[in-house]
Amino acid sequence: MEKKDQRSLVGKEIFKANVDYFVKGRQKKSKQWFESDKISNLTLVQLINKTSILSENTVENFFSKEHQYQLDKQTVEMVRSTMHIIRKKINDFSPQKRFFILETIDFFRSKTHIGRLLPAMLVLKGEKQKREILEFFYSTFNTLNKNVETIISTPEMFKTESLHVERGSLYSFSIDVAKLVLQLFKEDYVSKFNYSASEVELVKKVFNQFGPGKFLANPFLLSQFSENENEFYKTILSFVSTIQTHDVLFLYAQKRHVYYKRFLLSLVQSNRIKEIDPIDISRVFAGCLLKNPQLDPGESLVNRMIDEDQFNKPKTLKALVRYINDLSPSSVYMLINNIRSTLQTISNKRPKQKTKHEGKKKTAKDIFSNIWKKQ
């Protein structure tokens, strides 16, 4: 046996040993985990039925007499009242619609959304304020648009009779968000760019002119912000309303959830990842299920997933599909993240080795980058 083959074999044995250690460690602690108050042990339907409304405090916590606002009282009150209008509109949605929307974009309970945007609007001024708002607008648009593009390019997620209507609706959502991004800037500045096929492409041109991801470091773009302060704040509030109450948002949330579930299941339904045996993917998957904060997978499913003779049998896959269908969007996303990080951690413990490209199979990094570069 050549030395290269020996290194490869040793690396594979170490990887399998690490997978075994990971799974056994999770199994040992699983009973304690699932009996703790860290797990809700509720199905998706039960979570939807228990979904709560957004309280007044989700807004009021950011308005205090102690705050030194940089805005006049009239503008502060406009921001406050509009935030409550948006909050109340979300509360008027059906429990299912409200749940899916807030699982996808929870502006009012997120430190990186309301916790960042409202202080920027109310307390900051000048270039620092513009930078915070611009980063929020672009990162939100970029995530939404990339997800929409991915969903639209996956026709098997649509029924034949609704494919064109739903695709068109999703793209209109991206366009509406893009229009609000463009409203941040002076009209004569935006008009200098060559007309694009849509506002989505125009937004990309505005931001990519400095190179990928470099627009925040360029003060010139900030100097092109609209000088009408009242319209500036109205644009920000319209943006928040759009990303939380748009007519297509529920469809987007549902399709995004379906896409992530399909991605998750594809990891164990095919031999996709270079150098990692499918059984080891299934075993890592099972180990990650053993620390799911939403729902106990049950001993039977886990045992089948870690058994080399049973992991890819129809009965096992059907049971796994039933389990995943009971998970919330945030739980599915968290599970993908946990599998990814576990595979990376275990892979990093293997000896470094050079290997030839193996057909169309990809590394774990290749497979998961298609999901994470969108976030």
pLDDT of 182-239, one tens digit each?
A: 999 999 999 888 766 789 999 999 998 888 778 887 889 999 999 998 999 999 999 9
Q: Single out the residue of 12, 13, 27, 14 nearest to residue 287, CA to CA.
A: 27
The one-character DSSP state at 211 is -
Tokens found for residue 28: 């040992």
Which regions of 134-257 does DSSP assign to beta strands (E)?
none
Q: Quote the mean pLDDT of the chain.
A: 87
Is the model more confident about 190 or about 275? 190
Q: In which band, very low, low, confident or very high, does the pLDDT at 365 lie, cut at 50, 70 and 90?
A: low
- How confident is the model over 80-114, as pLDDT tens digits? 999 999 999 999 999 999 999 999 999 998 888 99
Q: Read off the amino acid at residue 128.
A: K
CA quadruple 257, 319, 31, 290: dihedral, nearest 10: -40
The one-character DSSP state at 158 is S
pLDDT at 350 over 50: no
Q: What is the pLDDT of residue 13?
A: 85
Question: What gap in Å lies between CA 368 and CA 241, rounded to an integer?
Answer: 31
Tokens found for residue 72: 């006049």
Q: What is the pLDDT of residue 309?
A: 95
pTM: 0.88
Q: Single out the residue of 55, 148, 152, 70 nearest to residue 108, CA to CA.
A: 55
Question: What gap in Å lies between CA 341 and CA 345, rounded to an integer?
Answer: 6
**Contact of 161 with 186, CB cutoff 8 Å:** no
> Helix, strand, or coil here: 164?
helix
Per-residue CA distances from 96 to 204, 262, 341, 374 (Å):
33, 21, 31, 25
Tokens found for residue 156: 């098997």
Q: What is the share, in percent, of the chain residues with pLDDT greater than 70? A: 87
Residue 189's H or E segment, with its range, is helix 187-190
The one-character DSSP state at 157 is G
